[in-house]
Amino acid sequence: EPEVTQTPSHQVTQMGQEVILRCVPISNHLYFYWYRQILGQKVEFLVSFYNNEISEKSEIFDDQFSVERPDGSNFTLKIRSTKLEDSAMYFCASSVDSVRAYEQYFGPGTRLTVT
């Protein structure tokens, strides 16, 4: 069964450093998403992406964050200058089309630790 994959599974970085989290969505999916879950808190929406554009972003997704689909398979989340409060589990998700856009398939997550 096709699945969303994410790399790395765990990333440790120092405050102020740039990080890139990588995702490979399911191959025929068209809609892509990033969510994050700070330890012990809710899963929070960050951004949705379709047709090489951001469809929607949350208040969390400020100028420090960016997303990109650099080729036909990868979908990346970049944090330019990490802060301690960026420490969280980051989940990538994808969905197949506009009719079933709500049916999102999640990757296993990348745990980001900012020290």
Partner 1 sequence: GDSVTQMEGPVTLSEEAFLTINCTYTATGYPSLFWYVQYPGEGLQLLLKATKADDKGSNKGFEATYRKETTSFHLEKGSVQVSDSAVYFCALSDRGAAGNKLTFGGGTRVLVKP
Q: Which residues bind partner 1 (CB under 8 A)?
A: 4, 6, 31, 33, 35, 41-45, 47-48, 55-58, 91, 93, 95, 101-109
Tokens 């960050």 belong to 46
Closest distance to partner 1 from the beta carbon of 57 (Å): 8
Q: What angle do CA 32, 90, 69 make, to 5 degrees?
A: 35
CB nearer partner 1, residue 31 or residue 75: 31
Task: Report the candidate in 52, 45, 80, 82 with the shortest Cα–Cα distance to residue 66.
Answer: 80
CB nearer partner 1, residue 47 or residue 112: 47
Alpha-carbon distance 13 to 112, whole Å?
8
Task: Report the candidate in 75, 96, 86 with the shortest Cα–Cα distance to residue 22.
Answer: 75
Closest distance to partner 1 from the beta carbon of 16 (Å): 28
Closest distance to partner 1 from the beta carbon of 29 (Å): 12
CB contact at 8 A, 104 and 33: yes
Closest distance to partner 1 from the beta carbon of 14 (Å): 26
CB nearer partner 1, residue 12 or residue 54: 54
